[in-house]
Structure 1
Amino acid sequence: MNPLKNLIMPNQYINNYGNSKSANFIIGHTIALISMYGYDHVTLPLICFTTKCSKSTIMSKFGGLKNVLQVSLITCLDDLVDNLKRQLRTNDTLITSLMDIWHQINIYNFNHTHEANVLIQYLRNPGVVAIPDLKMRLNVLLKQAFDKTEKNLTEKSNPEIRFLAFMSLCQSANYFTQKVCKSSGFTDIKENEYYDKHIAPEIEKILALPVY
């Protein structure tokens, strides 16, 4: 069975590289490849083989493997950010705590497995792909989300604090959906208990960090 056969292309795309179907096709398949094999094992020949695109086609659209990986990561980040923004906008009365945001990330992970895996692999090793303005990309969403659910994170205006909180929520959500739920199933009670036991204490530690 080809795991790429029914891949759903991400909705977002980086304007610098155009909006052609072939560019989106390449990025969608690269996201799946990163998800399955990891950044270090995704090569230009592998992307060419998987997409049936020539090296010259990929080079003309992206300039090289580094840019393909960067665009793939940013596409996944923007997809998650847009999803959370949409949830904050449409479920205003239901999202009132960091636990609610964590719940939305869990839902995202269930429905967007490849994109979630790409983000988690990056968060585990940020040096694998250099995105200079990555934290700035998160600031608007994090301020909006934390203004509503956790004033302490907004008052601590250092973007490092918000990024650490976001990283903690994403990593724990990935572990919860990939490990805990797969082994013993998902229930609201289990989700609440896991958050109270594992995530809430970690967020408290992050809030206690000094702000420079």
Structure 2
Amino acid sequence: MASSFSFLLVAALLGLASWKAIASDPSPLQDFCVADLNSPVRVNGFVCKNPMNASANDFFKAAMLDKPRDTNNRVGSNVTLVSVLQLPGLNTLGISIARIDYAPLGLNPPHTHPRATEIFTVLEGTLYVGFVTSNPDNRLLSKVLNKGDVYLFPEGLIHFQFNPNPHKPAVAIAALSSQNPGVITIANAVFGSNPPISDDILMKAFQVDKKIIDLLQAQF
């Protein structure tokens, strides 16, 4: 009986260790796996094209992050992501990078990356940033960052960045621990889903009446 229990315990621990090992982007088993973005095969990631057909251009993207992007939109920010979709050589390597431009008083709204931790660096300007811990505490951990400062946003947690300067723009670079980190912008997902989430659900969730829900949904 004791030996059976020991065997089950060891099996459970090995299963847990195996699950932990695949809880993020898979480790590469070869030098590289350039994504074949045109393949009809669907896997968790992208299939590899023949490595003999790989070229330097599979690992290169010209002038992706060198210039400011247009921030003339409702939130006053613009994210330029370089993921596996823009740079096929990133496939299986577990990283991506983004440039974020902020207009004066620009905001990168509260959002999450379901598959990535983010390390964030201010290149120019000042930014107020923060993230919220999970239930039940929902603690806001925030900081004002200046040029050269670094902040970390843990995987899956809601976070934001705001440029408090009414006169000067700001720019930052973010490195993410996934080839395809994904993004869920909270307001867009909740109030702009397709089809819309039921008014009854949103009214109860936010404890407001239907007029407010309709107003919020109209924005998205």
**TM-score, scaled relative to structure 1:** 0.30
The structure whose residues are more often helix, as a share, is 1
TM-score, normalised relative to structure 2: 0.29
Higher strand share: 2
